[in-house]
A and B are shown apart, each in its own frame.
Chain A
Amino acid sequence: MTTERRGLLQRGFSLGALTMLTGCDVSDNDAVQSFLARFSEWNDRVQAALFSGQRLAPTFSETQAVKNFRYNAWYGPDKAPNLDPADYRLLLSGKIADKKPWTVDELHALPQQTQITRHICVEGWSMIGKWTGTPLRTFLDRVGADTTARYVGFECADGYYEGIDMQTALHPQTLMAFKLADEILPRQHGFPFKLRIPTKLGFKNPKFITTMYVTNKQPRGYWTDRGYNWFSGS
């Protein structure tokens, strides 16, 4: 082997060694995790500044809407909570004047509107759906919520929990969705209602909501507690 070729080979190996460096992953280090968490909070502030309470998410035509909407959760659809409309009550808490619990019939009697919007998952896939329900803003007005408070939080029948900023809660396209594709919301999609927020990533759209509260303390989120960004606006 010529010295020239040997030199080339050696350089080739040192290149290989360089790429192996990426295998030395410092991600699980506590200091790295807290550095990333602080950056994520900075991104929360940037996103809140970028968010416009008036700018609408794009809407699509009826033909673009999917009939069989994708099911997504950390458990299978057969494990989804089966809430009995006879027993179900939506509980209200926090900075809300009228905390009377709501039945499914009372919720369904609220004024409703329809939107055909795109659900974008944090994983990267997206899907267009047709949703019908009551603007959260209408509901918050109806129950005398303090809309000068900073956050609205949600507890769900499957143990999920989420929270959103008040600006997003009051956005005209933020819906308490009672129907998907013109049908009463199927069990696995969150009966009796899910929060439909086309200006947020999919995981900020909680299902099977059993408690809603208004607060000035930033509510935790199920996936945020597992490292995802809190604001997660789109």
Chain B
Amino acid sequence: MSTPNVQKHALPVRIAHWLMALSILVMIGSGWRIYNASPIFDFLTFPVWATLGGDVEASLALHGDPGVATAIAWHLAAMWLLLLSFLLFIFWGVLSGHFWRDFLPVSPRSFWHDFVAAARFRLDHRLGEYNAVQKAFYWGVLTAILVMVVSGLAIWKPVQTYPLEVLFGGFQGARVIHFLAMAGIVGFLLVHLALVALVPSTLIAMIVGRFGHDPAPDRPVVSQDSGETR
């Protein structure tokens, strides 16, 4: 995976990535509809068009419910997909060495150096290699998803997991932390998508498994680490 100028993604990474992407989008959209039913902050409700849960007016007319029931059903279905794909990503990352090889090392010093360089648009994008800011971002979003899952469990099962909510400062605290982790993930997604738009070849690599010019032209084109040889 450290071939210069070549971006490669193993099949389990790609499967986990796209399933996490789908489940997170469903959970954000449905979560915003659920949030609107009882907003944490007086100044913030989400525009209905950005939420998931069906037609509000039709649902109100039919059920007296603004689609919150459907939003919760989405949320509690997608949570299983998120949990499974997140575990797949973590186990693969640890067992294959992907995390140690590509997400480490990262130090506050290297982060600051690359952050300043990026802010001045002086940081080159090297395919197949992550800079310190990217590495820190990936650790950050993985942590945010973990916090999301644990605080979500505390909200879903506040009695059966009771001491858990104390970790978040009570039930309301767990809701606030769940919200903040969501905000962190949304922030990550905006940067992530903006960078994909700037370097579209990374999107191709995440779909087909590799992108870039192989230094040895006589080698077969099919990637060998993805298990896709046929």
Contacts and interface: CB of A to CB of B under 8 A. Distances in A.
Given A27-B67, A123-B38, A234-B158, A39 B73 contact: yes
Given A123-B68, A226-B65, A233-B160, A39 B52 contact: no
Given A12-B197, A23-B49, A55 B159 contact: yes
B171 interface: yes
A22 B158 CA distance: 30
Given A11-B197, A39-B77, A234-B159, A22 B25 contact: yes
Most chain B beta-carbon neighbours within 10 Å: one of A35, A52, A74, A126 = A126
Contact of A36 (B35, B73, B80): B73
Interface stretch (A99-107, A114-122, A158-166, A184-192): A114-122
B112 interface: no
Given A11-B198, A28-B58, A36-B77, A122 B25 contact: no
A28 B73 contact: no
A52 B198 CA distance: 52
Given A15-B193, A50-B157, A27 B77 contact: no
Contact of A55 (B38, B72, B80, B160): B160
Contact of A22 (B52, B65, B162): B52
Contacts of A76: none
B70 A121 contact: no
A33 interface: yes
B158 to A, nearest CB: 5
Instruction: Categorize the interface residue count of chain B.
Output: 35 or more
Contact of B54 (A19, A28, A37): A28
A36 B63 CA distance: 17
A125 B142 CA distance: 28
Interface string A70-85: 0000100000000000
Nearest to B189: A19
Contacts of B157: 47, 50, 233-234
Contacts of B29: 22
Contact of A227 (B58, B73, B159): B73
Interface of A: 8, 11-12, 14-15, 18-19, 22-23, 25, 27-28, 33, 35-37, 39-40, 43, 47, 50-52, 55, 57-58, 74, 118, 120-126, 198-199, 223, 226-229, 233-234
26 contacts: A8-B198, A11-B197, A15-B197, A22-B52, A27-B54, A27-B55, A27-B67, A36-B74, A40-B73, A43-B77, A55-B159, A55-B162, A57-B159, A122-B72, A123-B34, A123-B68, A124-B35, A124-B38, A124-B175, A223-B69, A226-B64, A226-B69, A227-B65, A229-B72, A233-B159, A233-B160
